[in-house]
């Protein structure tokens, strides 16, 4: 692939791959507003496929979609002390509108807990109103100085779930359930294996009792937080006075959750599935699952080949998102590169000899393997099977990468040495926040989570904190992160 001009001169290797693929595969482009990107049609089509898969899962678990305003009165954000402390540095604030200074400043939402809780306080009166299960698809703004397409941008797209419950047990179950929905989305749709677990206090969502996350290991050895789910306890309920009458007629505060994933998932797909040729898309989120490229030299071959291509396209288009690349102005070689950069999972090449032999040539993007002389008879069934196999193989490749790049460490010396090559390090931690900070200062690595299950074999052994050597039963996952 040709070199691309990037905005940042000091992009690390992984980030330069991200920028290169985003640009060359026409997923996104830089915008005139620093920190923001334009999502181009091909990138947006991927987002729409992710969105529709997740939206279905969110509705199947009983949630309804709603929409709340982009602007939040500044006073709302200030009500919850931790929340404002966490978000204020990244907030964009509107002070002037309609030709005059505003009486109350309006914050462009960095997240919507405050405005949604304000509404919940009006809607929730009795135990009969619970649980209240709401989701919103929206854009949010968190000011960024450096653009990393899809991974970190000032404005991004996401969904945010907000729920209210009668008991803490229900809220806890909800927060954990939605994390599992995210895990399923990531592994079964995006083909990205993740580690699910709980965040340490340092990494907790501002205003939450506990934060759960899924983390994916990107090909450059960095971890990406791909989704979070929070048990908010009664923190926001008390601030926004959300009370309900329980079955005994007593007034109680509700227990709440919030959870979200964003267009960062596109960044995760890019950083997990690529090679030197470009992107490799899992079939489930590929805007084009199969591309047909006609190959002919003589004019006399042209209609013979093209007619066969059209016939194939017609026979397959009900089962696949198809594209027949019959552009006259480009050579087949150019088209091969074009669709490889874009990560189309399956390419079908057809030349005059294939037509007379009633066969096609198929190229898989996951392995770049050429499959010759595949009979046209039964092709649909063959492709359905191949598509499933490509989806599974991309997951398998990523899982192997994760396993290969996860190591146990015993002490700080080993940690400092091994973190240099990236990947996940697992080690014991004494739960003292200062030990976590020591490692972060020295190596920039953080505790990504206390995993529910570790990807490496481990008995329920005891060990010693890798920093202070205190006895510990808690093995955690460390990594450098985006």
Given the rule CB under 5 A, which residues bind Zn ion?
A: 430, 432, 435, 465, 467-468
Nearest-approach distance from CB 436 to Zn ion, in angstroms: 8
- 40: DSSP letter: P
- What residue ranges in 4-52 does DSSP mark as E strands? 28-30, 37-39
Nearest to Zn ion of 39, 467 (CB atom): 467
Nearest to Zn ion of 409, 465 (CB atom): 465
What is the rounded distance in angstroms from the CA atom of residue 354 to the CA atom of residue 325?
Answer: 17
96 beta partners? 101
Nearest-approach distance from CB 441 to Zn ion, in angstroms: 14
Nearest to Zn ion of 245, 469 (CB atom): 469
The phi and psi torsions of 336 (rounded to 5 degrees) equal: -55, -50
Nearest to Zn ion of 353, 471 (CB atom): 471
Task: Look at residue 348 and give its three-state secondary structure.
Answer: strand
Nearest to Zn ion of 340, 436 (CB atom): 436
Nearest-approach distance from CB 200 to Zn ion, in angstroms: 12
Nearest-approach distance from CB 408 to Zn ion, in angstroms: 17
Nearest-approach distance from CB 473 to Zn ion, in angstroms: 13
93 beta partners? 107
SS3 of 186-236: HHHHCCCCEEEEECCHHHCCCCCCEEEEEEEECCCCCEEEEEEEEEEECHH
Nearest to Zn ion of 3, 434 (CB atom): 434
Nearest to Zn ion of 203, 313 (CB atom): 203
Nearest-approach distance from CB 463 to Zn ion, in angstroms: 11
Nearest to Zn ion of 398, 435 (CB atom): 435
- 319: DSSP letter: T
Cα three-residue angle 71-210-142, rounded to 5 degrees? 30
The answer to whether the bond into 131 is cis (omega within 30° of 0) is: yes
Residue 85 class from Cβ within 10 Å (0-12 exposed, 13-18 middle, 19+ buried)? exposed
CB 233, CB 168: distance < 8 Å: yes
Give the number of other CB atoms < 10 A from CB of residue 349.
Answer: 19
What is the rounded distance in angstroms from the CA atom of residue 176 to the CA atom of residue 174?
Answer: 5
What is the rounded distance in angstroms from the CA atom of residue 232 to the CA atom of residue 174?
Answer: 11
What is the rounded distance in angstroms from the CA atom of residue 189 to the CA atom of residue 435?
Answer: 37
Nearest-approach distance from CB 1 to Zn ion, in angstroms: 45
Nearest-approach distance from CB 454 to Zn ion, in angstroms: 19
Nearest-approach distance from CB 217 to Zn ion, in angstroms: 24
What is the rounded distance in angstroms from the CA atom of residue 418 to the CA atom of residue 428?
Answer: 15
Nearest to Zn ion of 354, 436 (CB atom): 436
């Amino acid at each position: 692939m040709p070199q691309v001009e990037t905005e940042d001169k000091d992009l690390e290797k992984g980030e330069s791959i991200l920028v290169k693929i985003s640009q060359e595969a026409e997923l996104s482009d830089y915008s005139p507003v620093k920190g923001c990107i334009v999502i181009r049609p091909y990138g947006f089509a991927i987002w729409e496929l992710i969105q529709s898969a997740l939206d279905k899962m969110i509705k199947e678990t009983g949630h309804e979609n709603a929409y709340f305003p982009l602007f939040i009165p500044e006073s709302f954000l200030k009500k919850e002390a931790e929340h404002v402390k966490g978000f204020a540095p990244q907030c964009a604030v509107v002070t002037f509108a309609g030709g005059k200074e505003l009486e109350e400043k309006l914050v462009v939402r960095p997240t919507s807990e405050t405005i949604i809780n304000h509404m919940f306080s009006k809607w929730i009166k009795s135990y009969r109103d619970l649980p209240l299960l709401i989701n919103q698809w929206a854009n949010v703004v968190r000011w960024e100085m450096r653009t990393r397409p899809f991974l970190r941008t000032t404005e991004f797209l996401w969904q945010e779930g907000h729920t209210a419950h009668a008991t803490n047990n229900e809220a806890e179950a909800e927060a954990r359930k939605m994390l599992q929905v995210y895990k399923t989305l990531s592994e079964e749709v995006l083909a990205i294996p993740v580690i699910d677990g709980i965040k340490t206090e340092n990494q907790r969502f501002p205003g939450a009792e506990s934060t759960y996350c899924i983390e994916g290991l990107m090909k450059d050895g960095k971890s990406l937080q791909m989704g979070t789910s929070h048990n908010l306890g009664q923190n926001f309920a008390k601030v926004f006075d959300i009370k309900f009458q329980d079955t005994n007629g007593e007034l109680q505060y509700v227990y709440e959750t919030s959870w979200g994933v964003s267009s960062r998932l596109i960044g995760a797909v890019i950083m997990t599935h690529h090679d030197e040729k470009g992107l490799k898309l899992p079939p489930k989120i590929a805007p084009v699952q199969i591309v047909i490229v006609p190959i002919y030299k003589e004019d006399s071959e042209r209609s013979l080949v093209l007619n066969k291509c059209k016939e194939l396209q017609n026979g397959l288009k009900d089962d696949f998102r198809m594209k027949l690349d019959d552009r006259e102005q480009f050579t087949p070689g150019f088209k091969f590169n074009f669709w490889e950069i874009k990560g189309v999972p399956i390419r079908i090449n057809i030349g005059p000899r294939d037509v007379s032999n009633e066969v096609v040539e198929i190229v898989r993007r996951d392995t770049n393997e050429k499959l010759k002389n595949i009979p046209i008879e039964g092709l649909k069934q063959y492709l359905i099977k191949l598509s499933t196999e490509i989806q599974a193989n991309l997951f398998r490749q990523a899982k192997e990468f994760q396993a290969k790049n996860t190591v146990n460490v015993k002490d700080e010396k080993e940690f400092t040495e091994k973190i240099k090559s990236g990947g996940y390090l697992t080690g014991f931690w004494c739960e003292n926040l200062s030990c976590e900070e020591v490692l972060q200062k020295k190596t920039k690595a953080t505790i990504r989570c206390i995993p529910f299950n570790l990807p490496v074999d481990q008995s329920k052994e005891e060990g010693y904190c890798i920093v202070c050597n205190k006895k510990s039963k808690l093995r955690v996952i460390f990594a450098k992160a985006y």
